[in-house]
Amino acid sequence: MASNSPHSSPEMRIVLLGKCGSGKSSLGNTLLGEKVFNVSRTFSTCKSETKEVMNKQLTLVDTPGLLNTEGSEEDLKSEIIRSITECDPGPHAFLIVLKVERYTEYEEEVITRICQYFTEEVLKYSVIVFNHGDDLDEGTTIHQFVDQNEKLKDLVTKNSYQLKELLITVDKLVISNNGDIYTIEILQTEILDSLPAGFSC
């Protein structure tokens, strides 16, 4: 259940989300300080790993790439939703990893899918992480890149891929949510609330 304490927790549970090739598995390896997640475009199941990082018990769940063309959409959706139970009782945060190149309809579709899978409530628990910052045009900063696209600008609240700053950002997110976590019950409630009146399963 959700904690009522606004203080920093000694443990942190994070789900990594992103499209194939976004660098989410590499980010997970960087956060844990060792290669534990397979950097491949073809894996189809969630994998979790726990390690002490910066005096916190950090659990990361790596998920299959969104918009993956291998396998069925339903299988992919089920596996990605299963990430919630991989870090029981639920994640403190989702890291949505976007590759810095350009913000296209493809990236927008990633965000749309995440909201379809978890409902828009997931954004309250999410931090956007830009990967491959070296791919930006020379002289362009992350802030300028974000400012060039209104949809992306609206979506982004924080962006950092420095280990310490990233964990501090997640910590602040957890505190702002009063220690609440995203649970399967939240997902079920949001889905039921969106059904038409009188509709029964």
Per-residue pLDDT of 25-55, as tens digits, reads: 888 888 888 889 887 766 688 999 999 988 8
* Domain harbouring 175, CATH code: 3.40.50.300
| CB atoms closer than 10 angstroms to residue 34 | 10
- Asked whether residue 140 carries a pLDDT value surpassing 80, the answer given is no
Q: Is the pLDDT of residue 86 over 50?
A: yes
| Confidence at residue 15, expressed as pLDDT on a 0 to 100 scale | 97
Residues forming a β-bridge with 98: 130
Q: Is residue 176 in some structural domain?
A: yes
Report pLDDT for 147: 61
Per-residue pLDDT at 134: 42
Question: What is the residue range of 170's domain?
Answer: 11-191
- In the predicted model, what is the mean pLDDT of the chain? 78
Query: Both tokens of residue 78?
Result: 């089920």
Q: How far apart are CA 175 and CA 5, in angstroms?
A: 8
**Rounded Cα–Cα distance for residues 95 and 126 (Å):** 6
Structure pTM? 0.76
Domain count, the chain: 1
What is the DSSP secondary-structure string of 180-197?
A: ----HHHHHHHHHHHSPT
Domain for residue 196, yes or no? no
Does residue 58 fall inside a structural domain? yes
Answer whether residue 172 is part of any domain. Answer: yes
52 within domain boundaries = yes
- Residue 200 included in any domain: no
Residue 130 bridge partners (DSSP):
98
Is there a domain that residue 4 lies in? no
- Residue 110 lies inside a defined structural domain of this protein: yes
The model's confidence at residue 135, banded by pLDDT at 50, 70 and 90, is: very low
